[in-house]
Chains A and B, each alone.
Chain A
Amino acid sequence: MSAVIEEHDLATIREQAAQRFHQLGWPTPEMEEWRFTNVAPIERVEWKTDGDARPPAKFGVVSLRTRALAELVFINGRLADTSGGGAGVEILPIREAAAHPAFERHYARYADYQHHAFTALNTANAQDGALIVAAEGAKPEGFIHLLFIGVGDGIWSHPRNLIVAGRNAQITVVETFVGQGNYFTNAVTEIVAGEGAVVDHCKIERESVDAFHVGTVQIHQERASNVVARSIATGGALVRNEVNVALSGEGANLTLDGLFVLGDRQHVDNHTVIDHVRPHCDSLELYKGILDGRSRGIFDGLIIVRPDAQKTNSRQVNRNLLLSETAIIDSKPTLEIHNDDVKCSHGSTIGQLDQDSMFYLRARGLGEAEARNLLIYAFASEIVERVKVEPVKEQLRALVAPNGGAR
């Protein structure tokens, strides 16, 4: 991070971030990073914060309270409920955690509010979120669930999380975003995987069809750490999902899985950067898109291999299934290699439902809709079935193929 903050004081950081947002302004499609996504519809609204809203009862089904090690529920960015806990892991509302050593050491050190407008906006306005710290060697059983519910029109929220896995710790965190209305979620999660740590992070963006969502998951990996980051998107009218990873220690291992399932006029922009800073790191990225209606999906993935990152092993794949004539996918896998001693590959495919498979299923008695659902699910299953958290996998199966596509 270029701007070193002498005093790691939250008020100072917020003020700096607010200034930076003022200087940077809202991104425009003239900027290469934003060429596929125009955020003018977000800029246009006079957003307000709100803390009194109660969540509609229907979101009860999204809660994983009974099956998670711990669950924190936020409504419009404010903590509404907290339950559970586990040995070796601290789970705190982040607004009460500014004095925590992990906060002082890591908060806002990785997500770049100097150059990224939405991160600056989040950093300046963050209300609450979770600080999760797994102690050295801690291996808490089960997963931690962070549930963010947006409610109402014209309301914005800026959830901010920091997940720190100490040396050789193992931790699984699931973030779910849901809601109702024309609200705007601007989320940032920073993840620090210490030496030898194992982190499984899953973000499920299933916002209201009228909502805007911009989110960044910023991951910092130290030596021999192992991170699986999953980014699933099925909701929202206008969505930007960023995952940025710095492989900053030798022998670190990253799996980046993505799945976006879109219909109607949804617009979801997936933007990923994997930065191979140190040698002997592996990264494996697979994003799959399923697009129906007049939806538009974007995969814009960059892999950077720095001069020092010898023996890098990197694979980037984006596969897309178009279900209608009017859906659009922009796929831009990019490699930027500054070193000869690497193994890198990338590619992308765009296809339609296989007609021979459709016929095969129908010729055995399955109706057209059921056959279609089954094949759509089959396409998504590679990502869904890799999810290790069983209740999340169950939810995803139902989300991806609501009418019996699941196994």
Chain B
Amino acid sequence: MLEIKNLHAGIDGKEILHGVNLRVGTGEVHAIMGPNGSGKSTLANVLAGRPRYGVTAGSVTYAGRDLLTMPPEERAREGVFLAMQYPVEIPGVNNVYFLKAALNAIRKHHGEEELDAMEFLQLAREKMKLVDLDESFMNRGVNEGFSGGEKKRNEIFQMAVLDPKLAILDETDSGLDIDALRIVANGVNTLRSERHSVLVITHYQRLLKYLIPDFVHVLAEGRIVKSGRKELAEELEQKGYEWIEQEVAPVR
């Protein structure tokens, strides 16, 4: 599904990732953990194609294609979804209109028929239940006046509607209370199947109690320094990141 090789990348010319290697197979859930400033969000943004983020070396192959040469919309249409850490508020752009336009852009890309308003609403209502969002949210501006938790749930709702092949969750758990956390995890778990891969980027282990990863990687100072199974997350929770930093210190 996704193969990252020796990725060097950064923002505004400042290199933050110094050679990341990662392989995510179809149907797998990978967690990337790491302390602040380790490059987690840079990795997420580079994968989604955010402007200002540049790649200086390495490659990213997605479903057999070079991901890095695609513009952001093409990545989205090919099935890459980034649940953002800070979803923007866009007053004046209606949530329903926007999401329907996005879904239809993706469908058109795959040669599928576009959904009309009724068909879309039916789908949206069904997915909204997953994340416990009230229907009134649909008729507001994108994220306009949403609380932090509502914004994150809206991200998961969008993900559920767009049905991506690779979902990247960039600190979706930050700022969530335990109920919201469960709702978010539940939304992702529903999506989980042999067809979908998920990359969960997080600072804390708590989301991973509800969203059990197949693999856990630790990102520190722009490199993946340790990989393991779900037990690694628990170990990190107990020992903290200093433990890893000490362990990998000689490598630096």
Contact = CB atoms under 8 A, between A and B. Distances in A.
A404 B98 CA distance: 11
A27 B216 CA distance: 74
A362 B88 contact: no
A364 interface: yes
Contacts of B101: 366, 370, 374, 404
Which among A361, A365, A368 has the highest number of chain B CB atoms within 10 Å? A365
B84 A362 contact: no
B50 interface: yes
B96 to A, nearest CB: 8
Contacts of B49: 362-363
B51 A363 contact: no
Given A355-B51, A360-B90, A375-B90, A370 B105 contact: yes
Given A356-B88, A364-B158, A368-B73, A407 B105 contact: no
Interface string A349-367: 0000011110111111111
A382 B91 CA distance: 9
Contacts, number: 80
Contacts of B184: none
A367 B92 contact: no
Interface residues of B, number: 33
A364 B98 contact: yes
A377 interface: yes
Interface string B205-221: 00000000000000000
Given A375-B90, A382-B92, A366 B105 contact: yes
A357 B106 CA distance: 19
B27 interface: no
Interface in B56-84: 71-73, 75-77, 81-82, 84
Q: Give the contact-size bracket for chain A.
A: 20 to 34
A378 interface: yes
Contact of B84 (A354, A355, A360): A360
Nearest to A385: B92
B124 interface: no
A208 interface: no
Interface in B33-61: 48-51
A362 B73 contact: yes
Contact of A365 (B51, B94, B102): B102
Contacts of A366: 73, 98, 101-102, 105
Contacts of A356: 88
Given A359-B50, A407-B97, A367 B90 contact: no
Contact of A362 (B71, B94, B97, B106): B71
Contact of A363 (B76, B91, B93, B94): B76
Contact of A381 (B75, B84, B92): B92
B116 to A, nearest CB: 15
Nearest to B77: A365
Interface in A359-407: 359-368, 370-371, 374-375, 377-382, 404, 407
Contacts of B141: 378
A367 B50 contact: no
Contacts of A363: 48-50, 72-73, 75-76, 81-82, 84
Nearest to A380: B92
A379 B91 CA distance: 8
A359 B87 CA distance: 11
Given A362-B72, A365-B103, 12 more contacts: A359-B72, A362-B76, A363-B73, A363-B76, A364-B81, A365-B77, A365-B106, A366-B73, A367-B105, A370-B101, A374-B93, A378-B91
Interface of A: 354-357, 359-368, 370-371, 374-375, 377-382, 404, 407
Report, nearest first, the 10 A-B pairs whose CB atoms are least far apart. Answer: A378-B92, A365-B76, A381-B92, A364-B102, A362-B72, A365-B105, A365-B102, A362-B73, A407-B97, A378-B93
7 contacts: A359-B51, A360-B90, A363-B76, A364-B76, A365-B109, A370-B105, A407-B97
